[in-house]
Amino acid sequence: MSAVIGAFAALVAVAVLGYVVGLFGVLRSQDELVLSRLAFFVATPALLFTTVARADLRSIFSAVLVTNLVSLFVVQATFLLVAGFLWRRTRSQATIGVLASSYVNAGNLGVPVAAYVLGNGALVAPIVLFQVLVMAPIAFAVLDGDRLGSGRRVDLKTVLTRPFRNPLTVASLLGLLVSLLGVRLPDPLMRPIDLLAAAAVPVALIAYGLSLSAGTKASITLRRDVILAVSLKTFAQPLIAYTIARWLLDLHGPALLAPTLLAALPTAQNVYVYAVHYRASRTLARSAVLLSTLLSIPVMILIAGLLT
């Protein structure tokens, strides 16, 4: 338990550093975008590639993926039932709400948590792949086809090719290919990739802390859609994942901690980007990202303390 809490303390310390440098103006709010892009397009893909390429595939496609999928479908169905059928939200509003309640921050925060706390960054790879290859294209198809969204027709080619323009997806798939083929890449090739991979965790955490320093009360609302999405994401999803892992799969120890902890990750910032792009439920997306991010660290620390 002390090792896990110590790992979380290190993560929190770096995130707090990002918050402090943002608070004192050492880094500006616009620098968060630069750091996030550096982590997203360069460092995190390198980390995912190296960890997946060297990982045992059985450890990647394991209980983490099963529990994530089950918990994800349950919270999505719950949000759709409440917001879509009871509150009569539009398709675009319901779609953004579904993403806000289930689309986890697997890149900027999930990789550091998996790599540093769980000791295996590859555990987050199947979550990244599912979200980018399945969830996002389906959401884009709905939003593209909704007159209240972008008002454009669905372009099947765009929907099918969009995931492969995501560097995290490409890096994970390349890592899977290397692992499946059993290829050992030469050290001169891997050393620069490993060097870039080492920057993923600190850069992502500083960007994460910096984003919190820019948050204001004006950035959020506590409307019922937001409360529902944040409650499902922050509390219901990890609880469902724990229930599946513990009582249906009979997992214990680290095998139980991993799926529960990763299910507690906050809403991904991508959801707000999608909401802005499609002009749908921007306040909901922004509020869900900020509130779930603020709540996720204490929730994950509590989970780690209880399950180790």
Distance CA 1, CA 56 (A): 25
**pLDDT attached to residue 299:** 92
What's the Cα-to-Cα distance from 146 to each of 90, 91, 138, rounded to whole Å? 9, 7, 13
- pTM summary value: 0.78
Mean pLDDT rounded to a whole number for the chain: 83
Structure tokens at 230: 């944040």
What percent of the chain has a predicted confidence (pLDDT) above 90?
A: 26
Predicted confidence (pLDDT) per residue in 144-156, tens digit: 766 444 445 556 6
Predicted confidence (pLDDT) per residue in 268-302, tens digit: 877 887 787 777 888 898 889 889 988 988 899 89
Predicted confidence (pLDDT) per residue in 35-52, tens digit: 888 888 888 889 889 878
Q: Buried (b) or exposed (e) across 12-48, using 16+ Cβ within 10 A?
A: bebbebbbebbeeeebeeebbeebbebbbebbbbbbb
Mean of pLDDT values over 11-31: 86
What distance, in Å, lies between the first and last C-alpha atoms of the chain?
5
Distance CA 42, CA 29 (A): 20
Structure tokens at 131: 């979200």
List the single range of 55-64, 82-91, 109-118 with lowest mean pLDDT.
55-64
Closest C-alpha to 204, from 82, 302, 108, 292: 108
What's the Cα-to-Cα distance from 169 to each of 46, 51, 130, 265, rounded to whole Å? 11, 14, 9, 19
What's the Cα-to-Cα distance from 113 to each of 9, 11, 147, 251, 264, rounded to whole Å? 11, 8, 39, 20, 11
How deeply is 80 buried, as exposed, middle or buried, from its count of CB atoms within 10 A (0-12, 13-18, 19+)? Answer: middle
